[in-house]
Structure 1
């Protein structure tokens, strides 16, 4: 197959990859925090299905006498009704709807108890009310006349009516304009709202409208819903009441929106940075942009393959894409540098491409495999955020090396326009022949081991206010909730039982709620069945009759907020303050402790965005120290299986481990908090930095196999491969450094940290690997090669159009 035809086929494959990549769906924040197979994920799905998603909250700040005044209550009821009809809304729980439903339930009880007399009384009251309004009576006077007309029409049943009113706790007939009735329902005999209704009325100067979105509502739809709720609230005209709309669903969706926009922002920056790097380092060499074309192709293929693999679009994808671009450029630079070397040695384009692939292909394949193993170690964190990062980086590494080795030779041959000077070091380059003295190496090793031993002491930054982009409107909404309520997020507790209305289960829920609130005063109680039944008194004695009696009196829509329709699932919620996720984790642990000793047959699971984030942070704290050592062990095992030379494995792995240890010590000394993505710092540096040592080792051994003495081999390695290694390191470092331009702090921190560690890693590798290889040289017989699978060899030959030549051995 001719190179031109091979390139057309490659172009078609890249086009298909672009189509695949366009199908990537945004990954929700919950899916990045909770493993889909965990108990918390199952509980979250169950609660979402029964009660809706986590709430968007509208705060109404004013004295409740003003918020619930006759002039505002109608507007409030209309607002809640309009919000409930918005697309994407599962349920709305607000002050006016609550009171209106309570009134409707009271009327139902009256009809059941009084029969036809209740209907006649309602008709008489309505007629009197209309007449009073036509006569210009005040709302209070109109309500008084209507109530009197009802009593008069009831006749002998008036006494029974008054008895029912006492049983219902009502002062006067239930009505939205009956101030006495509203005060009795909300406040009882006190000056603060009743305990059981604190989730709607936190105090005497604040009311809440709680909007439960449909589960699975996407990022764009959630943000649109938030804007629509805010618009309706502002247009409602509720007098002298300050309103605010906020909630974690809006903040999570905003972060997802920022993640998607970062791809558009960072892609041109990454490509531009790579172009500039190639211009500065390769200067006027013809074909200097060929590696970038291969790199873009490898990155596109990786993005396309991530769609059928279900990796989705997330902050992990954004973090990985520039890095994959840098790695692919790194591989392509190595192939092109060797190609220029062979052309300069007198080979024609096709033979040079063949020799270049044979020379660097085995090392690149082995390096890509070892890197992928290092990246895949992140899957052991059980945190999807890092799982997806590791999986995409591994996929990108394999895709990149495949594109470079299969398409690169054909592209180099097709675009060859004559000899190009090979890469080389300037005559006075300080690195030429430089090395570290044994004492310096020993000191570095000691310091690095200390850094690795202490790396687990580096703390993780988990405060959303720090990790979110500056000026994010949705973050301000959450902060305003915190100021108004003292809480901003929600912990959801799923209680499963054969019948959650069983008195024993209800009693336990009340006691559990009391223990949790006692354990941490920063928690705020949310709606739960026990409070509705006992009025917030966890010591109250209840039986089947009392539970059923309360459930009969409560509006159905109110009961549906806390128990499922089949009565097998109940939700207990707690408001939680906006503090670091680490601190929130300690609060969630207190809730879990309070939930112990549930009745037999009852299961309890804490879930929700806050609980998921806390669990993920705890998992990162516990697994992070071992990730680097595990990655080093697995990579070392693979290299030893191929080379059968433990000393060689140590020489190649050493620089990356030294760099990781030194960097860990510096981070600890400066007390830098790592973002959640920063927890992957050391394994990433080890996996990527490994290649530098492998390339230097490869070139040294090739020189020895060609008959050079150890001194000559070291000199040739320094002269011929160090420039390519430095350029490779620069491409990968630039890929990470591009992340520094991100508006997302967790991306920008990862970018500059890894870029700096890679710079340190390549310097250590250049100074140590050639010198150690010479010092520990055991002769040319130590040279080994990695066999390339025959099908890869055949594909590469067809793509290059080189004919049937020998298989690499």
Structure 2
């Protein structure tokens, strides 16, 4: 009973001061509309699921270790043209630019866009054909240098033993030196035979290098299945003979604005002539983050169309159904209430999500 009397007094007061009430409501609606205009669409996962759910917590932990969802860049074109020509060098430079790697800082004719990517550092890790083949060549070359060092150590040790044995046998100094030289030559000859055997086995004519088509071909292609068939174990990089993949796993701690900027920079880098394939290949930027970014832009555009369409439909309906001079008043009240509601969302630091729109 008391509650009914309370609301009755409120209604009586509002009716007695109708002009003031309408003015206050109009100001609140206008302020809400101004605040709502600053809302940005958000497609973050935490706007759709509970942040405390086990699935969300497990997803965040995985992203901390492996990075966020990957921006996938499809390198479309004949794989031999992509990998066995200078296009591979362009591809590696492109990957190094995105990854902001130390090697990327030394790219000849380095685009300024690479500096922006280096400053933002959006990639936690980059998996790509150029990076993979380049590292494989570098590690094999480093291993070869280690073998050379080990060979020298074995040769010195063998020479010292031969010299010591000759000395114990009371041979002349010249004979001791000859024994040491023979022992050293034997070790070097054995090493050369090993290198020749490896070269014949893998059909190599020189040290492993990313610029050596023969090395790249032996590394990537399965000649037992065809001329242009990549090895099955590298399918995450070479899914077919007509495609290669670059995966850019983004940092999970970036804001939505930083993620949007990172995607825009990657798309711009894919269009730079400096990195463009010259043998008919092309880059196609896709992946979950790119789709979500496009979805956010689509939501923003669709909301404007939806709002205008809804207002027109409601206005037409009210005009046809009611005959009173104030038949559009319910529409104004609804718009005012919506403006205040979304204004409060903006004040609370929220954003436009599919849930809030619904």
User: Normalising by the residue count of structure 1, what TM-score does the alignment of the two structures yield?
Assistant: 0.31
Cα displacement (A) at 1:200: 0.6
**Which residue of the other structure, out of 294, 302, 305, is the alignment partner of 2:341?**
302
DSSP-derived class of the 2:247 partner: strand
**Which residue of the other structure, out of 297, 306, 310, is the alignment partner of 1:270?**
310
8 Å Cα contact 1:80-1:97 kept in structure 2: yes
The verdict on how the C-alpha distance between 1:295 and 1:197 changes in structure 2, with shifts beyond 3 A counting, is same
Residue by residue, what CA displacement relative to the aligned partner does 1:560-583 show, whole Å, maximum 9, x if unpaired?
xxxxxxxxxxxxxxxxxxxxxxxx
8 Å Cα contact 1:52-1:213 kept in structure 2: yes
**Which residue of the other structure, out of 137, 141, 152, is the alignment partner of 1:103?**
137
**Which residue of the other structure, out of 82, 89, 93, is the alignment partner of 2:127?**
93
Cα displacement (A) at 1:202: 1.8
Aligned to 2:64: 49
Q: Within the alignment, does 1:255 sit opposite 2:299 as a pair?
A: no
The within-5 A match list for 1:605-754 is: none
How many corresponding residue pairs? 283
**Which residue of the other structure, out of 161, 168, 186, is the alignment partner of 2:220?**
186
Unaligned runs of 5+ in 2: 1-12, 100-113, 153-184
Q: Within the alignment, does 1:209 sit opposite 2:246 as a pair?
A: yes
Cα displacement (A) at 1:290: 2.8
**Which residue of the other structure, out of 274, 289, 301, is the alignment partner of 2:328?**
289
The within-5 A match list for 1:322-471 is: none
Cα displacement (A) at 1:175: 0.7
DSSP-derived class of the 1:239 partner: coil
The within-5 A match list for 1:99-138 is: 99-115=133-149
The verdict on how the C-alpha distance between 1:242 and 1:228 changes in structure 2, with shifts beyond 3 A counting, is closer
Q: Which has the higher contact order (CA 8 A, sep 6+)?
A: 2
Cα displacement (A) at 1:100: 0.9
DSSP-derived class of the 2:86 partner: helix
Residue by residue, what CA displacement relative to the aligned partner does 1:333-353 show, whole Å, maximum 9, x if unpaired?
xxxxxxxxxxxxxxxxxxxxx
Aligned to 2:284: 244
Distance in 1 (alpha carbons) for counterparts of 2:291 and 2:192: 50
The verdict on how the C-alpha distance between 1:162 and 1:294 changes in structure 2, with shifts beyond 3 A counting, is farther
The within-5 A match list for 1:541-556 is: none
The verdict on how the C-alpha distance between 1:314 and 1:186 changes in structure 2, with shifts beyond 3 A counting, is same
Distance in 2 (alpha carbons) for counterparts of 1:38 and 1:252: 22
User: Normalising by the residue count of structure 2, what TM-score does the alignment of the two structures yield?
Assistant: 0.65
DSSP-derived class of the 1:58 partner: strand
The verdict on how the C-alpha distance between 1:103 and 1:12 changes in structure 2, with shifts beyond 3 A counting, is same
**Which residue of the other structure, out of 41, 57, 74, is the alignment partner of 1:26?**
41
The within-5 A match list for 1:470-549 is: none
**Which residue of the other structure, out of 180, 192, 199, is the alignment partner of 2:236?**
199
Cα displacement (A) at 1:258: 0.9
Unaligned runs of 5+ in 1: 119-153, 321-809
The verdict on how the C-alpha distance between 1:291 and 1:251 changes in structure 2, with shifts beyond 3 A counting, is same
Q: Within the alignment, does 1:221 sit opposite 2:244 as a pair?
A: no
**Which residue of the other structure, out of 98, 111, 131, is the alignment partner of 1:83?**
98
DSSP-derived class of the 1:288 partner: coil
DSSP-derived class of the 1:231 partner: coil
The verdict on how the C-alpha distance between 1:158 and 1:23 changes in structure 2, with shifts beyond 3 A counting, is farther
Distance in 2 (alpha carbons) for counterparts of 1:232 and 1:44: 34
Aligned to 1:331: none
8 Å Cα contact 1:62-1:205 kept in structure 2: yes
Residue by residue, what CA displacement relative to the aligned partner does 1:712-757 show, whole Å, maximum 9, x if unpaired?
xxxxxxxxxxxxxxxxxxxxxxxxxxxxxxxxxxxxxxxxxxxxxx
Distance in 1 (alpha carbons) for counterparts of 2:189 and 2:287: 48
DSSP-derived class of the 1:212 partner: strand
Distance in 2 (alpha carbons) for counterparts of 1:13 and 1:162: 88
Aligned to 1:537: none
The verdict on how the C-alpha distance between 1:52 and 1:94 changes in structure 2, with shifts beyond 3 A counting, is same
Residue by residue, what CA displacement relative to the aligned partner does 1:253-293 show, whole Å, maximum 9, x if unpaired?
2222111111111212222222222322333x333333222
Q: Within the alignment, does 1:176 sit opposite 2:210 as a pair?
A: yes
8 Å Cα contact 2:48-2:355 kept in structure 1: no
Distance in 1 (alpha carbons) for counterparts of 2:295 and 2:230: 36
Distance in 2 (alpha carbons) for counterparts of 1:279 and 1:47: 56
The verdict on how the C-alpha distance between 1:300 and 1:205 changes in structure 2, with shifts beyond 3 A counting, is closer
Residue by residue, what CA displacement relative to the aligned partner does 1:112-167 show, whole Å, maximum 9, x if unpaired?
4434999xxxxxxxxxxxxxxxxxxxxxxxxxxxxxxxxxxx99657547747949
The verdict on how the C-alpha distance between 1:295 and 1:243 changes in structure 2, with shifts beyond 3 A counting, is closer
Distance in 1 (alpha carbons) for counterparts of 2:52 and 2:44: 16
Aligned to 2:180: none
Cα displacement (A) at 1:199: 0.5
RMSD over aligned Cα, in angstroms?
Answer: 3.6
8 Å Cα contact 1:222-1:250 kept in structure 2: no
